[in-house]
Structure 1
Amino acid sequence: MLGILVANLPGFALPGAAYFSPAAWGGTSRADIAAWALTFVLVEGKMRGLFAMLFGASMLLVIQRADARGENGAALHLRRMGTLFAIGCAHAYGVWSGDILSLYAMVGCVALIFTGAGTRLLLFAATAAFVLTLLNGVALLGLGDVLERVFGRSTPAALAREIAALRGPWRANVAWRWHEEAGPLTAFLANGPETLGYMLLGMAGLRTGFLTGTWPRRRYGAIAAVALGLTLPIDGVLAWRTNAHQFDAHAVVLASFVLTPPLRPLTVIGYAALLLCVAREGRVADAGRVALSNYLLCSIAATALFYGWGAGQFARWDRATLYVLLPPAWFAMLTWSRWWRARFTHGPAEWAWRCATQRRWIALRRKRCERDAI
């Protein structure tokens, strides 16, 4: 979640075309280009992949535990995904168009097919999903004018319409998202294969013990060093090349959708190994246990700052300045997560999701003995 916020900041504060291209909006000073490059190399696609990987592992855990209790784990999972889809659609249209929850819900239904698969089949299916992702990226290169409009500099008229809508009242924000932004089905077709691949990696990671922290720390450290040492320098070269081509739409798509997707799974595994090596417990773990609440709270807080129903700062900040928000946002996320986890069994959004899925009221406040143990 800490890394996802880094990736999402330009999406909250700047026109959509600026997410991939500083040339579209947000400034092209050295600081702005450096901010984009660091995000591209260290964060873009990687944090989302890590989130999906952990989602796949947790999905398998929920199904296994339900089956062990004598319940129908598959039915429970489908109810969870249906509820998550509703939450995601409310988030996408009511708060922010960059929602990933509805995508995870739809892909999670597909991933149910693989819950009984062995590790080898999971890895084979994940590889096939990543190959399909690469083919989707190659297909993007043939979109012509659409390529420039979506991944290039857009047009002054289109930028002006988006800025006016998102600086406007909440109803104008919703109307813009409803009419102009891609819906859940489009997101599923575009990003579903890659998301499925990471979920399957997460299932495999759970089955092998990689994600449970049972491997020796030295092994996690070696995996992180090799995976990140191989992939991040290549991403650095691609960032340099994209900037050298002045963020031409073809160069942007080639870097973000064709050349980096084959590297990302290894990078994501490297990040997972690094986290398991250095941050198994403490505030980071607490923040992870209320990840859904943190995700939604970040969207609400950011849109309150940038959209017209709040402070109306949309498209008024340059890219580099956005990142001054990270330290206070991270501090708030880590602090409230620790405070909440000491008093309650679930995050507020996690609790509502669980109650809706299980169709019953679930106790939220911890008992005194549980608080003392924490």
Structure 2
Amino acid sequence: MIQTMERQSLVDEIRGFSLLGILMANMLIFQYGMWGMDEMELFGQTSFDSWAHKAVKIFIEGSFMPIFSFLFGFGLFKQMQSQEARGGKFRRVLLRRFLMLLILGFLHSYFIWDGDILLFYGAIGFLLLLFLRRKAKTVLIWGIVLLSLFGLAGLGISGTDMNVTPEQERKTEQYVEKSIEVYQTGTYAEITRFRNNEPVPMVDDPLFLMIALFLIPFMTGPMFLFGIYAAKTGLFEQARTKRAFYAKGAAMFIVPGLILKTLGVISPGFIISGIGKTAGMPLLSIGYILGLAWLFTLKEAGMVRKGFASIGKLSLSNYLTQSVVCTTLFYGYGFGWFGKLGVTAGIGIALLLYILQMIVSTWYAGRFRIGPVEWLIRAWTYWSWRGRPKRAVLPGPVDTNA
């Protein structure tokens, strides 16, 4: 039981830290929009902001959200184990969880913000059920194959403008220019209407949609599968004895991940730069996971671990809170800062908001067992007002934190 608590604490800490990276990456979408964050010339950014933007794209963008995907897969397997230890049918429990994620994701994306991930997590959960009972080696092979294929697909997108026609570029600029006016001055109703009804460039292209739908499993699947593999092989069990492994693994993945991502950002026209956009992101994510595991097993890290763990325990509540706060700051029905402050200021806001969430989460976690959104999902998942699984049928210790 002690080992289970240590493992869960480490997972919470990694999840909590990754939420900071997710917030910084999402801050670009809050500030400039889903399409505007790649059309920064329309916002007149300074040279300093330009370098800050590049730094975010290299070190953060696309490499922290996969950590959530990894932990989602990890948690699914642990939840299956926990449910089976109680003699329950894990598929029913997980299907209810996926359904609630779909509902929350739809509400979040429709009424608050279009950068939602919960809807996608709820949908891909049904696919992951196919892998929960597979052998660890099988899951690992599938993950490596999908990652390799997606990495090679980057060869086809090397060069920023190779696949974008002048007409598509013009439509994108028009869309972004219109979004600036709507998000800066629009009412809640006007912004919601624009977000959900305005034709989005590229997405209206049937070929683009077909390619995107085809690539999604290759792009997102590996990290979910690696999470399942990590749970099956006990990656975070007896973590203190694996510090050397974590350190070597972190270096092995972080270095090539940063090189590939830097190549994709600094030299987008280079012949293999597209691989930096596809393979670099998950490689860096794996390196971050191992690096954080090493960091949080240091005795000297004891003081900060509690704060990260508290945010991690309330990750969904904090994630949705970030959307509410940031849309209020940047949208017209709030402060209307959309596109006005710059990337550097956005990083500062992200850090400030995260620190406040860490303080509140630490206070909350000391008084309540789970967060409000976490309680809602668990109550629905287990059909229990207390948000707890049914009493175990089989003897032995049970992981109630799965």
The TM-score by the shorter chain falls in which range? 0.7 to 0.9
Instruction: Flag the 1:45–1:153 CA change in 2: closer, same or farther, 3 A.
Output: farther
Instruction: Flag the 1:24–1:189 CA change in 2: closer, same or farther, 3 A.
Output: farther
Q: Secondary structure at the match of 2:337?
A: coil
338, 350, 369: which one aligns with 1:314:
338
103, 120, 129: which one aligns with 2:137:
120
**Equivalent residue for 1:350?**
374
Instruction: Flag the 1:258–1:219 CA change in 2: closer, same or farther, 3 A.
Output: closer
**Do residues 225 (structure 1) and 275 (structure 2) align?**
no
**Equivalent residue for 2:86?**
69
**Do residues 23 (structure 1) and 48 (structure 2) align?**
no
Kindly provide the amino acid, as one letter, of the partner of residue 243 in structure 2.
R
Q: Secondary structure at the match of 2:123?
A: helix
2:247–2:294 contact (8 Å) kept in structure 1? yes
2:257–2:279 contact (8 Å) kept in structure 1? no
Q: Once the 2 structures are TM-superposed, how far is the Cα of residue 193 of structure 1 from its aligned partner?
A: 3.1
**Do residues 238 (structure 1) and 268 (structure 2) align?**
no
293, 301, 304: which one aligns with 2:317:
293
Give the distance between the partners of 1:19 and 1:160, measured in 2 at CA.
12
Q: Once the 2 structures are TM-superposed, how far is the Cα of residue 226 of structure 1 from its aligned partner?
A: 2.4
Give the distance between the partners of 2:136 and 2:191, measured in 1 at CA.
44
Instruction: Flag the 1:164–1:254 CA change in 2: closer, same or farther, 3 A.
Output: farther
Kindly provide the amino acid, as one letter, of the partner of residue 366 in structure 2.
A
Kindly provide the amino acid, as one letter, of the partner of residue 216 in structure 2.
N
**Do residues 278 (structure 1) and 302 (structure 2) align?**
no
**What per-residue deviation string (whole Å, max 9, x for no partner) do you get for residues 31-52 of structure 1?**
1121111111111111011110
**Do residues 32 (structure 1) and 49 (structure 2) align?**
yes
Instruction: Flag the 1:292–1:147 CA change in 2: closer, same or farther, 3 A.
Output: farther
Instruction: Flag the 1:26–1:291 CA change in 2: closer, same or farther, 3 A.
Output: farther
Q: Once the 2 structures are TM-superposed, how far is the Cα of residue 258 of structure 1 from its aligned partner?
A: 3.9
84, 92, 111: which one aligns with 2:128:
111
**What per-residue deviation string (whole Å, max 9, x for no partner) do you get for residues 314-339 of structure 1?**
12222222112133112112111111
Gaps of 5+ in 1: 246-250, 365-374
Once the two structures are overlaid, the 10-residue window that deviates more, 1-10 or 169-178, is 169-178
TM-score by length of 1: 0.85
Give the distance between the partners of 2:329 and 2:222, measured in 1 at CA.
34
1:24–1:154 contact (8 Å) kept in structure 2? no
Counterparts of residues 1-374 of structure 1 (less than 5 Å): 1-25=19-43, 27=45, 29-134=46-151, 143-145=163-165, 149=169, 154-155=172-173, 157-167=174-184, 168-180=186-198, 191-212=216-237, 214=239, 215-242=241-268, 255=273, 258-279=275-296, 281-362=305-386
Kindly provide the amino acid, as one letter, of the partner of residue 256 in structure 2.
L
Once the two structures are overlaid, the 10-residue window that deviates more, 352-361 or 117-126, is 352-361
Instruction: Flag the 1:34–1:175 CA change in 2: closer, same or farther, 3 A.
Output: same
Fraction of identical pairs, as percent? 25
Give the distance between the partners of 1:189 and 1:350, measured in 2 at CA.
32
Query: Aligned residues, how many?
Result: 350
Instruction: Flag the 1:115–1:148 CA change in 2: closer, same or farther, 3 A.
Output: same
Q: Once the 2 structures are TM-superposed, how far is the Cα of residue 30 of structure 1 from its aligned partner?
A: 2.2
TM-score by length of 2: 0.79
Instruction: Flag the 1:219–1:334 CA change in 2: closer, same or farther, 3 A.
Output: same
Give the distance between the partners of 1:110 and 1:10, measured in 2 at CA.
30
Instruction: Flag the 1:271–1:80 CA change in 2: closer, same or farther, 3 A.
Output: same
Instruction: Flag the 1:189–1:96 CA change in 2: closer, same or farther, 3 A.
Output: farther
**What per-residue deviation string (whole Å, max 9, x for no partner) do you get for residues 250-308 of structure 1?**
x7x975x6433223332212111111111254211221111111110111100010112
Give the distance between the partners of 1:317 and 1:211, measured in 2 at CA.
41
Instruction: Flag the 1:212–1:148 CA change in 2: closer, same or farther, 3 A.
Output: farther
Once the two structures are overlaid, the 10-residue window that deviates more, 101-110 or 353-362, is 353-362
